[in-house]
Chain A
Amino acid sequence: MAENVSGKKLIGKTVYNGITMGKVLVLRGSQEQVRRTKITDAEQEIERVHGAVANAQQQLGALYDKAVKEVGESSAAIFEVHQMMLEDDDYLDAIYHVIRTEMVNAEYAVAITGDNFADMFAGMDDEYMQARAADVKDISARLIRNLSGQGGVDFSSMEPSIIVADDLSPSETVQMDKEKILAFVTVHGSTNSHTAILARMMNIPALIGVPVDLDEVYTGMTAIVDGAAGEVIFEPTVVQCNEAEEKIRNDKEKLRLLQELKGKKNETSDGRRIDIYANIGSVSDVGYVLENDAGGIGLFRSEFLYLGRDNFPTEEEQFQAYKQVVQTMGKKKVIIRTLDIGADKQADYFELGKEDNPAMGYRAIRICLKQPDIFKTQLRALLRAAAYGNLSIMYPMIISAEEVKQIKAIVAEVEQELKQNEIPYRIPEQGIMIETPAAVMVSDELAQLADFFSIGTNDLTQYTLAIDRQNQRLEDFYNPHHKAILRMIQMVVDNAHKCGKWVGICGELGADTALTETFVNMGVDELSVAPPMVLKVREKVRAM
């Protein structure tokens, strides 16, 4: 068994750096085979189902409460629906029927019933209902886990652990105590996955695409995860442990030195300054912003309000979320980017349809200008929240001055409505994202209309170099430091400064410490980076 993996290095793709050593917690999928065994006492078996259902109700109730706090009521509702599904007599009667007529074990009866109900939904000519098949499978899997005693992963008493799994779903990660996750190691998953985003935010090592056989590892064994090297070692040898411990000590020392930079200025030795803000994607991330001493929020992705649900968020819901963030941040600036849905971020209820080239498709501001009702709801919420703190708005995917004029006209309409209804509001600072080569080329005109620029280097790089970042065959051609990109940034900075406007960078390049000095020299005013990178960039600036 475990001898096969002992001490062997397994290589995966790094999602986030850092090194850790600790106990493994293996999460297994629900695809495990359910055995069919003959029983003699059907009523006793049915009694077991009752017990499993009661446990499941309790688990789902706890999950619901936790999710309400962390991701909000609308995303949590799914757990309430699961509870109702478990109360459904048709479902339960079908399970009892299988047990009584076939005299088989409860696990098997649940598995068969779950499959039948899932097939019913999968067979409906409605995409939404087809997707409900997954919910049926989910509740059936939960019952089976409870029945077979595998429900054993009680996250409430979880020890600090390295999470090893095939892949992780948000419903799994939401259950975990974030303080107790040492690292993520998954067999599948992508660098854009929920797990990856979580790892970056929490500053813990994460590897995906690790070729680990989940049958050969078990909960409680020791492992080392080295994000920088992209490797994981199960049951390491003494020598490997010593090496890892030394690296961990070094990391801790670096971290300690970084902590000393809290409260210090982002200033070079010759007195030049730059603002360092943080990028976040949900209200609960604000804690990481403050913890890492960021000067503000340079990019708040508002998509979190729209994704993972089945209808549009209301104005009130949005207003409350924005207000909470600006109030928590006090006087510090919070730049909220309007809806950037489309491309790789999809929500079914937008009914966007499939596109051959989504990165160049109907997305972001294009949706907002074509469907102004969606846009206005968000703008009303933003203008209202602006009355409560230092909020700024930024518009994504701009290619022309005409678009900015159209946006301004819509903002004026919204303002008029608010004024008429005597609702408190404030017109905040409004900037635009520079993420298309077109916006760079007309940045002189745009600078007269916008209050600030924020350069989104991920899209700008992909559009300028004509390289799809998801295409691994192009990796050799991809150079994030390409001269074309750096010249574009300089051009944008110069055009903005001519009009007295400021410029930030909020793409991945902003956190690239190999370029920090270049950016300061170019005159970039602000860098917005993942929260754990704030102090690292500050260190770089202060060393100049």
Chain B
Amino acid sequence: MKEFTYVITDKEGIHARPAGELVKLAKTFSSNVSVLKDGKKADAKKVFGLMGLGAKQGMEITVQVEGDDEDAAVAALETFLKENL
């Protein structure tokens, strides 16, 4: 398993559109991808759960990836977060 943390810089946080794009990206990998915030854990392949975290600007999230393509997934997710959130 691999994990990394990221602090949201986008003013709106993980709202509908970026959440949807994140799900789209996570689904391209076979690994399990989870996003954690304040002890709450959401499956990054499910848009409701992800939005339900209520992650806003300035908050830290932890991304956990576990599976065969976890290296590629971590790289892609980190890039996505930096560019979009």
Enumerate chain B residues within 8 angstroms of A91, measured Cβ to Cβ. 48
Residue of B nearest to A125 (CB): B54
B52 interfacial by beta-carbon distance below 8 Å: yes
Enumerate chain B residues within 8 angstroms of A88, measured Cβ to Cβ. 46-49
Q: Tell me the chain B residues, 45-72 only, with Cβ under 8 Å from chain A.
A: 45-49, 51-52, 54, 56
**Are A78 and B48 in touch, CB under 8 angstroms?**
no
**Are A78 and B16 in touch, CB under 8 angstroms?**
yes
Residue of A nearest to B23 (CB): A84
Taking a contact as CB atoms closer than 8 A, the residue among A77, A90, A311, A349 that contacts B48 in the complex is: A90
Q: Which range contains the number of B residues in contact with the other chain?
A: 20 to 34
**Are B51 and A129 in touch, CB under 8 angstroms?**
yes
Interface bits A66-87 vs B (CB < 8 Å: 1, else 0) = 0000000000011011001101
Enumerate chain A residues within 8 angstroms of B43, measured Cβ to Cβ. 89-90
**Are B12 and A310 in touch, CB under 8 angstroms?**
yes
Q: Tell me the chain B residues, 1-41 only, with Cβ under 8 Å from chain A.
A: 11-13, 15-17, 19-20, 23-24
* C-alpha gap A89/B44 in the complex (Å): 11
Residue of A nearest to B47 (CB): A84
**Are A85 and B12 in touch, CB under 8 angstroms?**
no
Which of B24, B43, B46 gathers most chain A CB within 10 Å? Answer: B46
Enumerate chain A residues within 8 angstroms of B16, measured Cβ to Cβ. 78, 81, 132, 135, 310
Which of A84, A85, A124, A135 gathers most chain B CB within 10 Å? Answer: A84
**Are B47 and A310 in touch, CB under 8 angstroms?**
no
Residue of B nearest to A311 (CB): B12
Residue of B nearest to A120 (CB): B52
* C-alpha gap A216/B43 in the complex (Å): 47
Enumerate chain A residues within 8 angstroms of B47, measured Cβ to Cβ. 81, 84-85, 87-88
Q: Tell me the chain A residues, 100-152 only, with Cβ under 8 Å from chain B.
A: 117, 120-121, 124-126, 128-129, 132, 135-136
Contacts A81-B17, A120-B52 known; A89 to B12 CB distance under 8 Å? Answer: no
**What does DSSP make chain A's interface, helix, strand, loop or mixed?**
helix
Residue of B nearest to A85 (CB): B47
**Are B11 and A124 in touch, CB under 8 angstroms?**
no
* C-alpha gap A87/B48 in the complex (Å): 10
Enumerate chain A residues within 8 angstroms of B48, measured Cβ to Cβ. 85, 88, 90-91, 117, 120, 136
Contacts A78-B16, A135-B16, A310-B12 known; A124 to B54 CB distance under 8 Å? Answer: yes
**Are B17 and A310 in touch, CB under 8 angstroms?**
yes
* C-alpha gap A79/B33 in the complex (Å): 24
* C-alpha gap A349/B10 in the complex (Å): 12
* C-alpha gap A135/B15 in the complex (Å): 12
**Are A84 and B12 in touch, CB under 8 angstroms?**
no
Residue of B nearest to A77 (CB): B17
Nearest Cβ distance between residue B24 and chain A, in whole angstroms?
A: 7
Nearest Cβ distance between residue A221 and chain B, in whole angstroms?
A: 39
**Are A90 and B15 in touch, CB under 8 angstroms?**
no
Nearest Cβ distance between residue B42 and chain A, in whole angstroms?
A: 9
Residue of A nearest to B24 (CB): A84
Which of A80, A126, A129 gathers most chain B CB within 10 Å? Answer: A129
Enumerate chain A residues within 8 angstroms of B15, measured Cβ to Cβ. 128-129, 310
**Are B49 and A90 in touch, CB under 8 angstroms?**
yes
* C-alpha gap A351/B22 in the complex (Å): 26
Taking a contact as CB atoms closer than 8 A, the residue among A84, A128, A136, A311 that contacts B20 in the complex is: A84
Taking a contact as CB atoms closer than 8 A, the residue among B23, B46, B54 that contacts A126 in the complex is: B54
* C-alpha gap A121/B24 in the complex (Å): 21
**Are A89 and B46 in touch, CB under 8 angstroms?**
yes
**Are A128 and B23 in touch, CB under 8 angstroms?**
no
* C-alpha gap A126/B49 in the complex (Å): 15
Enumerate chain B residues within 8 angstroms of A125, measured Cβ to Cβ. 54
Enumerate chain B residues within 8 angstroms of A87, measured Cβ to Cβ. 23, 47
Q: Tell me the chain A residues, 376-432 only, with Cβ under 8 Å from chain B.
A: none
Enumerate chain B residues within 8 angstroms of A121, measured Cβ to Cβ. 51-52
Enumerate chain A residues within 8 angstroms of B46, measured Cβ to Cβ. 88-90
Enumerate chain A residues within 8 angstroms of B54, measured Cβ to Cβ. 124-126, 129
Contacts A77-B17, A88-B47 known; A128 to B12 CB distance under 8 Å? Answer: yes
* C-alpha gap A135/B47 in the complex (Å): 12
* C-alpha gap A128/B55 in the complex (Å): 12
Q: Tell me the chain A residues, 309-365 only, with Cβ under 8 Å from chain B.
A: 310-311, 349
Enumerate chain B residues within 8 angstroms of A126, measured Cβ to Cβ. 54, 56
* C-alpha gap A52/B67 in the complex (Å): 33
Nearest Cβ distance between residue A140 and chain B, in whole angstroms?
A: 12
* C-alpha gap A3/B48 in the complex (Å): 47
Nearest Cβ distance between residue A93 and chain B, in whole angstroms?
A: 10
Interface bits A180-218 vs B (CB < 8 Å: 1, else 0) = 000000000000000000000000000000000000000
* C-alpha gap A140/B24 in the complex (Å): 21
Enumerate chain B residues within 8 angstroms of A78, measured Cβ to Cβ. 16
Nearest Cβ distance between residue A317 and chain B, in whole angstroms?
A: 14
Nearest Cβ distance between residue B38 and chain A, in whole angstroms?
A: 13
Residue of B nearest to A74 (CB): B17
Residue of B nearest to A126 (CB): B54
Residue of B nearest to A309 (CB): B17
Nearest Cβ distance between residue B48 and chain A, in whole angstroms?
A: 5
* C-alpha gap A163/B53 in the complex (Å): 40
* C-alpha gap A128/B13 in the complex (Å): 10
Nearest Cβ distance between residue A56 and chain B, in whole angstroms?
A: 15
* C-alpha gap A78/B20 in the complex (Å): 10
Given contact pairs A124-B52, A135-B16, a sample of 7 additional A-B residue pairs in the complex whose CB atoms are under 8 Å apart: A77-B20, A120-B48, A120-B52, A121-B52, A128-B12, A129-B52, A132-B16
13 inter-chain pairs at a CB distance below 8 angstroms, sorted by A residue, are: A84-B24, A85-B47, A85-B48, A88-B46, A89-B46, A91-B48, A117-B48, A120-B52, A124-B52, A129-B54, A132-B16, A310-B15, A310-B16
- Nearest first, the 4 A-B pairs at minimum CB distance are A84-B47, A81-B16, A84-B20, A81-B20
